[in-house]
Amino acid sequence: MKSLRIALTYDRKEDYLAAGFTPEAVMEFDSEETIAAIELSLLGLGHQVLRVGRGTDLARRLGAGERWDLVFNLAEGVSGRSREAQVPAVCELFGQPYTFSDPLTCAVTLDKPLAKRLVRDHGLPTAEFAIVEDLADVEKLSIAGPLFVKPAAEGSSKGITGRSKVETRAELLAVCAELLGAFHQPLLVESFLPGRELTVGIVGNGDAAGVLGVMEISFVDGDERYAYTAANKGEWETRVAYQLLNGEPMAERARQIALAAYRALSCRDAARIDLRCDAAGEPCFLEANPLPGLHPRIGDLPILSRLAGISHPELLGRIVAAAGERWGL
């Protein structure tokens, strides 16, 4: 692929911490280490790279007339249910080509219940679920337990702890009260899926979209061995084991479901689809990540790619190539 002038957009953790944000509030944002690694990989592919930063910085520069061949978008946005859609929307407003999914897909996938509805309407398996907007909604729930509770529109396992799996109505009320107070947004309550945890990496668009691999995530230490909690993610080196699955029928079924969900949600260029198996071993859709974490060492998509023999620069090269072909670059 020819050399491109690429602008990096991102929300850097260090900037927000310096501005007074809490560590939990910046969990989804990228560290300087991540941004530098992505910059280095893109430079190594022969591209010119310019750091632009957050969405407001991008808007100012586009408004002043600057343009690039491609914006490589890492920005998560700061607030609101559609925050991940902000940078894609600004790019579309100014006619600026960019990587990854469009504003609608970024907004829909951040809203986990809405994404599950769309996937379910396409005939794909997902756990039974309900939305809790206030504690009165808890009394109306008729889903059989055990249940799993999490904020409806957060990433990076924010709000998912050792208390997220609940067995009794009293536990459900207590956890819902805690999360409603902490996150000020609706909660997703779904049937707990007791089977294997999987994530599927996909790169490409339309019929050319393909699965990089199916990775099983196992919890080997600590007291939160039933889910990919924030603690497990934070201490992944001791708590989590990763294995690429090949050959077994369940893995092939996971590939099919993930690719179908990717297309149903109109994901572009690359995404990570998270699945978990039910008691019968059927992989069920959990959520889609159209802006997957790309830290070369700890990001789930780079880990999966590395197990599949794909280096970090090669992974980014495939993403840029998919975006470039889509934009005719």
Distance in angstroms (rounded) separating the CA atoms of residues 202 and 267: 9
- Which residues, 6+ apart, have CB-to-CB distance to 25 below 8 Å? 16
Distance in angstroms (rounded) separating the CA atoms of residues 150 and 148: 7
Domain boundaries, the chain: 5-100, 109-124+194-327, 129-191
In angstroms, the Cα distances linking 14 to 30, 61, 109, 203, 295 are: 9, 22, 26, 29, 15
5-100 belongs to CATH 3.40.50.2300: no
**CB-count exposure of residue 224 (10 Å: 0-12, 13-18, 19+):** buried
Distance in angstroms (rounded) separating the CA atoms of residues 296 and 312: 6
Which CATH class for the 109-124+194-327 domain?
Answer: alpha beta
Specify the CATH number of the domain 129-191.
3.30.1490.20
What does each of the 329 residues of the chain score in pLDDT, given as a tens digit?
A: 789 999 999 999 998 899 888 888 888 889 999 999 999 999 999 999 999 999 999 999 999 999 999 999 999 998 888 999 999 999 999 999 999 999 999 999 999 999 999 999 999 999 999 999 999 999 889 898 899 999 998 876 777 887 889 999 999 999 999 999 988 899 999 999 999 999 999 999 999 999 999 999 987 765 555 666 555 555 566 678 899 998 889 999 999 999 999 999 999 999 999 999 999 999 999 999 999 999 999 899 999 999 999 999 999 999 999 999 999 99
For residue 233, the Cα-to-chain-centroid distance in whole angstroms is 13
In which region does residue 3 sit, left (phi positive, over 0), alpha (psi from -120 to 50) or beta (all else)? Answer: beta
Strand 197-203 and strand 270-277: the pairing is antiparallel
